[in-house]
């Protein structure tokens, strides 16, 4: 505890009841959470697997685990340290049979959800381009714990919401038929599991002696409801967050969770961490001048002993092109003086379309750059395809994976064949894989098509029945036997080789879950290049030199936020 300040020590040592820690930006909250975990183990004699510790990204969970391992001088890899989704996945793998699912369920990421919704829209003869908005609405409803039938009954039976409700119902039916869960189901079904099974809830309340939550301001309704269920028996919960850093309203994050915590947990202790270890006083003062205009917040004033530093530079330019050229010129001058490497620079913007003109100017000057948040490794076609083979082999009911790989690589199985399989599956309430096998016993197809389908069925069943030592062994087998290795361009083959390498020594189900739960936020590649990213992507990262562009009404603050004060407040937090 010797390297903690008085407020950090206070937050660490209090364990008698609910605790709310308001941790200002750069105030060392990760250090406090890691030390508190260590304190609970060493001083309060709690076992490492009895502390339910929640972070918001897999990257943050890995870093937290590493810090705790160092503090305890032992491996805590079996502990409950992870994201809400990974923690709920772990619980559901053990308990989901109580809800009528098999525990070999697939997890659908956003890309899988989009593919499924597009398929449903096509079936309903609705405009397919709506799919992204519908996926977003369904996610928002689930994060509010609103089921499909409940949403349908709450409407007037007319208009777009009625159509959305019918897509939602069909979407949920497809998930159940595929024995699959999307990200929001992981939370929603864990809540349902505990609410429907008081004994199971009691089991996990007794199991988790203490609950630690990072980035509490980013929780949505469902996540907070889950925490309240787990903490309701013993009230041993510590939440750490900052209302001024709540920037994910568009994903369902609810600012009122952190502001109402003291009402929800009467007698909760409040600690403020206001010493900043990251910035200089000039930066803190300008930030304070911005955020002080928000009225719905807990007052805090950040300070630092790192000195005043340089003033925040403000530059007014006539056009986006002038802005981009100016930034490229400044970065080049700094770099040529030897003061900084390219990786020390970052450029933040409100929306992705602002990146093009910046990227063009940097490249014109011969400056290396990379856009953060572009396609993730796990979203690349070849990676998604190979993992879909794994998922279908583990769960033959996974219809999204079936559709993805039935003709990938090309094996001469066309849309007409797939349409017949879809029809059979719907008629007999079968998965696509089982419907295909049923059709093979009939005379619905020519012998040539039958041969191709039989070969595919045997391929998947072979992967399902084989005993592999690790996920890497299974991936190698899929790559070689599926025909995917043939005629694959070098770059894609390298990506699959990297995937196989990352799977060495990993359990198959753990590896597939990890790949499914991976997000772009978790993937930050190292290298000497200038980083370009949206303000949302920048959260939690640090750079010596930062440019924030497009500070004009309609861009930042964003045009869609101009009409409501709560939206302007969110834009202010984003800039802060």
The three-state DSSP-derived secondary structure of 404-458 is HHCCCCCCCCCHHHHHHHHHHHHHHCCCHHHHHHHHHCCCCCCHHHHHHHHHHHH
Residue pLDDT, tens place only, 344-364: 999 999 999 999 999 999 999
**DSSP label at 77?**
T
Q: Find the angle CA(192)-CA(198)-CA(201) to the nearest 5 degrees.
A: 75
Residue 3, pLDDT > 70, answer yes
Split at pLDDT 50, 70, 90, the class of 540 is confident
Q: Which residues of 77-106 are buried (b: 16+ CB within 10 A; e: fewer)?
A: eebbbbbbbbbbbebbeebbeeeebeebbb
Burial tier of 435 (Cβ tally within 10 Å: 0-12, 13-18, 19+): buried
Classified as helix, coil or strand, 487 is coil
Compute how many other C-beta atoms are within 10 angstroms of the C-beta atom of residue 283: 22
For position 157, what pLDDT does the model report? 54
**From 24-38, 264-278, 483-497, 504-518, the region with the lowest mean pLDDT:** 483-497
d(CA 369, CA 360): 10
Find residue 545's DSSP bridge partners. 345
- As a whole number of angstroms, the longest Cα–Cα distance in the chain is 81
Residue 67, pLDDT > 90, answer yes
pTM (2 d.p.): 0.92
Residue 1, pLDDT > 80, answer no
pLDDT over 70 for what percent of the chain?
A: 98
Q: For all residues of the chain together, what is the average pLDDT?
A: 94
Angle between helices 432-440 and 447-465 (to 10 degrees): 130
Split at pLDDT 50, 70, 90, the class of 443 is confident
**Cβ partners under 8 Å of residue 79, min gap 6:** 48, 49, 51, 53, 65, 68
The CATH classification of domain 320-375+525-575, taken from the options 2.60.40.2220, 3.30.70.20, 3.40.50.970, 3.40.50.300:
3.40.50.300
| Helices of type H across 27-158 | 29-42, 58-72, 84-95, 110-123, 131-143, 148-154
Residue pLDDT, tens place only, 304-341: 999 999 999 999 999 999 999 999 999 999 999 999 99
For position 332, what pLDDT does the model report? 97
Q: Domain 378-517: which topology?
A: PCRA; domain 4 (1.10.486)
Q: Please state the CATH superfamily assignment of the domain spanning residues 6-91+190-273 in this structure.
A: P-loop containing nucleotide triphosphate hydrolases (3.40.50.300)
Residue pLDDT, tens place only, 473-521: 999 999 999 999 887 888 889 999 999 999 999 999 999 999 999 876 6
Sequence ranges of the domains in the chain: 6-91+190-273, 106-178, 320-375+525-575, 378-517
| Helices of type H across 145-298 | 148-154, 159-177, 183-196, 198-207, 221-231, 256-259, 261-264, 281-291
d(CA 187, CA 193): 10
For position 377, what pLDDT does the model report? 84
Burial tier of 109 (Cβ tally within 10 Å: 0-12, 13-18, 19+): buried
- Of residues 247 and 3, more confidence is placed in 247
**DSSP label at 46?**
-
Four-residue CA torsion sign, 532, 535, 541, 543: positive
**Cβ partners under 8 Å of residue 401, min gap 6:** 106, 388, 389, 391, 392, 395
For position 158, what pLDDT does the model report? 56
**From 4-18, 111-125, 410-424, 482-496, the region with the lowest mean pLDDT:** 482-496
- Of residues 157 and 153, more confidence is placed in 153
d(CA 390, CA 381): 14
Sheet containing 530-534: order of strands: 369-371, 530-534, 345-349, 545-548
**DSSP label at 109?**
-
Q: Is the previous residue joined to 218 through a cis bond, with omega within 30 degrees of 0?
A: no
Angle between helices 198-207 and 183-196 (to 10 degrees): 110
Residues 537-551 have a mean pLDDT of 94
Residue 249, pLDDT > 80, answer yes
**Cβ partners under 8 Å of residue 218, min gap 6:** 56, 241, 246, 248, 253
For position 184, what pLDDT does the model report? 98
d(CA 456, CA 141): 38
**DSSP label at 159?**
H
Q: Which residues of 401-422 are buried (b: 16+ CB within 10 A; e: fewer)?
A: bbbbbbbbeeeebeeebbebbb
d(CA 221, CA 256): 9
Residues 427-439 have a mean pLDDT of 94
Report the number of secondary-structure helices (H) and strands (E) in the chain. 26, 12
Q: Which CATH class is domain 106-178?
A: mainly alpha
**Are 6-91+190-273 and 320-375+525-575 equal in CATH topology?**
yes
């Amino acid at each position: 505890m010797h390297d903690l300040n008085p407020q950090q020590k206070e937050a660490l040592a209090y364990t008698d009841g609910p605790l709310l820690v308001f941790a200002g930006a750069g105030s060392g909250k990760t250090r406090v959470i890691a030390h508190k975990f260590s304190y609970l183990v060493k001083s309060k004699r709690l076992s490492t697997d009895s502390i339910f510790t929640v972070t918001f990204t897999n990257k943050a969970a890995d870093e937290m685990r590493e810090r705790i391992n160092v503090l305890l001088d032992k491996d805590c890899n079996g502990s409950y340290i992870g994201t809400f989704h990974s923690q709920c996945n772990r619980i559901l793998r053990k308990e989901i049979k109580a809800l009528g699912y098999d525990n070999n369920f697939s997890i659908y990421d956003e890309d899988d959800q989009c593919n499924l919704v597009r398929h449903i829209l096509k079936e309903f003869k609705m405009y397919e381009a709506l799919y992204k908005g519908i996926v977003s609405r369904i996610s928002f409803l689930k994060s509010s714990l609103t089921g499909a039938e409940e949403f349908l009954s709450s409407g007037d039976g007319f208009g777009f919401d009625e159509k959305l409700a019918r897509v939602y119902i069909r979407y949920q039916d497809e998930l159940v038929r595929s024995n699959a869960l999307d990200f929001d189901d992981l939370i929603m079904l864990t809540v349902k599991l505990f609410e429907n099974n008081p004994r199971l809830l009691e089991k996990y309340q007794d199991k988790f002696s203490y609950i630690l939550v990072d980035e509490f301001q980013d929780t949505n309704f469902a996540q907070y409801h889950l925490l309240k269920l787990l903490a309701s028996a013993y009230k041993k919960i510590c939440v750490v967050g900052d209302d001024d850093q709540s920037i994910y309203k568009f994903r369902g994050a609810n600012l009122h969770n952190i502001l109402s915590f003291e009402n929800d947990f009467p007698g909760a202790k409040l600690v403020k961490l206001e010493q900043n270890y990251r910035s200089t006083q000039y930066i803190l003062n300008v930030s304070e001048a911005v955020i002080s205009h928000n009225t719905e917040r807990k007052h805090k004033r950040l300070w630092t002993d790192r000195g005043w530093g340089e003033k925040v530079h403000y530059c007014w330019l006539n056009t986006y092109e002038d802005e981009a050229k100016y930034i490229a010129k400044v970065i080049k001058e700094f770099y040529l003086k030897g003061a900084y490497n390219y990786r020390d620079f970052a450029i933040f913007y409100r929306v992705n379309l602002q990146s093009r003109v910046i990227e063009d100017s940097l490249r014109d000057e011969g400056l290396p750059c990379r856009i953060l948040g572009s396609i993730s490794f796990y979203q690349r076609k070849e990676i998604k395809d190979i993992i879909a083979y794994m998922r279908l082999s583990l769960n033959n009911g996974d219809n999204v994976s079936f559709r993805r790989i039935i003709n990938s690589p090309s094996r001469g199985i066309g849309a007409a064949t797939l349409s017949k399989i879809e029809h059979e599956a719907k008629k007999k309430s079968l998965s696509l894989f089982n419907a295909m096998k049923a059709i093979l016993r009939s005379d619905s197809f020519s012998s040539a098509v039958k041969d191709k389908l039989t070969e595919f069925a045997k391929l998947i069943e072979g992967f399902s029945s084989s005993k592999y030592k690790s996920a890497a062994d299974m991936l190698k087998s899929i790559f070689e036997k599926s025909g995917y290795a043939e005629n694959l361009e070098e770059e894609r083959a390298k990506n699959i080789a990297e995937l196989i390498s990352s799977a060495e020594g990993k359990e198959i189900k753990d590896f597939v879950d990890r790949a499914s739960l991976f997000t772009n936020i978790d993937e930050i590649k190292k290298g000497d290049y200038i980083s370009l990213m949206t303000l949302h992507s920048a959260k939690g990262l640090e750079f010596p030199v930062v440019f924030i562009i497009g500070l004009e009404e309609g861009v930042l603050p964003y045009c869609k936020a101009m009409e409501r004060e709560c939206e302007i407040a969110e834009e202010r937090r984003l800039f802060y």
